[in-house]
A and B are shown apart, each in its own frame.
Chain A
Amino acid sequence: MDAIDILLTGSFWVAVIRIASPLIFATMGELICERAGVLNLGIEGIMTVGAFTGWLTVYLGGDLWLGVAIAALAGVAFGLLHGLLTVPLGLSQHVTGIGITLLATSLTYFTYRVALPEVTSPPKIEPFQPFPLPGLSGIPIVGPALFNQTPLTYLAFVLVAVVAWILTRTPVGIALRAVGENPAAVEAQGISVTAVRMGAVAVGSACMAVGGAFLTMSAFNSFFFEMINGRGWVCIALVVFGSWRPGKALLGAVLFAAFDAYQVRLQQVTGGAIPYQVFLMLPYVLSILALIVVARRASYPKALMAPYQKGER
């Protein structure tokens, strides 16, 4: 198989969409937070929590969708904590976010050990199954890639549309964007800046957690340590790359996933001539390069990382 031929195989594009799905969830989550003016570096930890709680729910006999809901709730909990510390209390969003990631990750590992003291290899669960959309899944290449995925993948794409709709077409979306641009404008119109920002961080964190849950419930079928593996940080880069717009961020996530899927296949093609670590590094390197390319002309939310106090201007 040739390096170019990879791009023409159906399984490649199936993998691309599968790899992209958790990134889409988490990127939308981060995007919601940042559009409201709050950087959420808790993303990596919140994804870990989501991956674990979703998986645990199913492992303990719960329904798959119940797992997704529990994961989202766990995300909300950590999001509210991050929101409480950074919005009304105005603490450094950098330090708090890192703290949330450390806390969420360690709490997850602790709970895992408490809940499953005996296990040596991570137990598997029955994950979401692909759900072919009648008619559409038969189309060559595009069909299996886009229309024969698990329900969570469909949900990821729906989420992008919903986020885009909310941000531009609903009163709450307008308030959310305004609060990320100029909180004083929102306060002057009688809306609580704190409430909007807290809400955005809670909802955004729920999306991140579902992104994490995708990994255990729709990809790897079990939970293991360090499974998020920097995906959260990549998503932060994707938000910048997407200029804080849902559509562009989606494009970024798919591009990134394509690159990731491609490098895995390229490893097989090159047959070990290049160390596999080089391929594994490429996605991270790509993220940094993407940041460099867009950083100059990125129009970020003006009030990003700026805490707001009433009456201050």
Chain B
Amino acid sequence: MKNKAVKVKKFTRRMQKKLAVLFIMIMLALIGLAMRITQIHAQNGEKYAKQVLSQQEYDSRTLPYKRGDIVDRKGTVIATSEKVYNVIVDCKLINSDEDYVEPTIAALIKCFDVEEAVLREALATRADSHYYVMKKQLSYEEIQDFVVLMNDKENNPDIKGVWFEEEYLRKYPYSTLASDLIGFTAKDNVGYWGIEEYYSETLNGTNGREYGYLNDDSNLERTIKPATDGNTVVSTIDVNIQNIVEKHIKIFNETHNFDESGLGSKNTAVIIMDPDTGEILAEASYPDFNLNEPYDLSSLYTEEEVNAMSSETKMETLNALWRNYCISDTFEPGSTAKPFTVAAGLETGKLTGNETYVCDGSETVSGSKIRCVKRTGHGLETIEQAIMNSCNDALMQMSYAIGIDTFAKYQSVFGFGKKTNVDLPGEVNAANLMYTADTMTAVDLATNSFGQNFNVTMTQLAAGFSSLINGGYYFQPHVVNKILDANGGTVKTINPVLQKQTISLATSEKVKHYLYMTVQEGTGKSAKVDGYSMGGKTGTAEKTPRGQGNYLVSFIGFAPADKPEVVIYVVIDEPNIENQAQSSMATNLAKDIMTEVLPYMNIFPDQETAAEAEAAEAAEPAAGGTEAATETQAETPAGESETPASQNQGSAEENLDPETGESLDPNASIFE
């Protein structure tokens, strides 16, 4: 026993010390590692936490929402989103088993328009990718062949690693219809222009998500949080009326091609409005564009021309094409402003309606001679006759009675130079092209009275005009009257907004009568639809710079005359004809449109037709065309303008040189 004990070697002191050293070294290493963990947490904890979460996104799948439709007032779909499918190839999965490669490639080639070489290259170069987009935006029908093959597990067990990502594609069934008004969408449902932009938030929904998580038993479950589809926007537009309008605009463009540019005018625009609500029933300007291909310029330019454009030029051209003339462009309205001048006078009692004026062919204001359309003068006229004849001289005389303060106030009351707040993007105001009581001179007053020397947009004038004839109620013009949810339930009804009373009912009745007479027997006669009582006013404004023979002709009218249900405003900017100063361009277009629109709107003829009238009493014939010709005989020579208002685009102030005052050149005429 003792011997044994001696033989046993012991763990010596020295060894114990060495073991202690070893233990301390291990302890230091472990402390170092503990510090390292703390350091990772302190330095990158937040970053890594985010990284972890963002990786999860990759694992889950976004379920796209459907952007809401845009429908017209009758429910016709103008813009909609169709579900399309992207073909996603999981290269890594296919490459993971040799058995998968050939059957899958064969099936893909068979069912889709894809080249074998391209596919093989993708599988080789992106071997580790889970997400290779092979085809984009295929329709449901286009993917069915493959889906059938893939689901046939018995015959095709090795077709693997292909799935379909859903997406929505914006479609416009009527392509060009109301293109400026509707607008289009780009990637990710961003709306550009028109209703698509203004109501983009309303139309958009919320994406859903499909994701996996571990439940309490650590089993993987997949959960779907469904997408919320966007709301449907019901427009005030009527597709049929819009169609009629656009059809006639196109006919106009095809038949007026003096300089062979192919366009009937620089811009042809029409607004049709319900005067009792401010609802816009149709709104078109030409040239239009295809909403399905908004970047396509081929309808207006040749391929060479497009290719020659720099990207900036191209963008400018496109923006010009996309913008909505009716709200974004201002112009001098011309004689269509005359009823407003008269209404302001009557409303304030500055005019009684019983005045008479002598038109001698011109007025001299502050030393400037401003001429009437008829150089020889219209002679003695009542207010009614002044409107019917579109007499500048009489209007100028009225403006003296009205005075600068009242006139400027009423320009504002009628909404000129102010945004109408129509529910469309890109509306301009023309406030800087307006005079206030402080800046208006006598000459400005005189020229403003007949619609020159200040600028408006079509929407401003149409909204103001509606109030003139509906009893004085100024409604905010609008293009949307209802929001529906994805299931068709009403989310919101947008009622007409009555903004103000511009004039009294009595004044409105008087002005309405003058306008009725203007169409019945005056300068607006050629706009009259046979059998219907109508009112309206023409306008022929020479554009600045004066003397170039460039005119903007227009007509604003309404029907029926006693209880207006529809207002039409036609503007033709620089008609493509030899002598542009013919408002008959506008009246004829208005007549063509109204001839179809009135019956469509169930507005019945309330007058004898011309044939009936002739049969009843062999009365004096009414030839509309000649009226327009006389209307354009304005003779105010254009001198170099050096007036204080010359900074204004719409400056029409006449600083007339007596020496050139006798010019007979019709292109030098400015005012009707």
Q: Do A and B come from one complex?
A: no
The chain B residues found within 8 Å of chain A, CB to CB, are none
The chain A residues found within 8 Å of chain B, CB to CB, are none
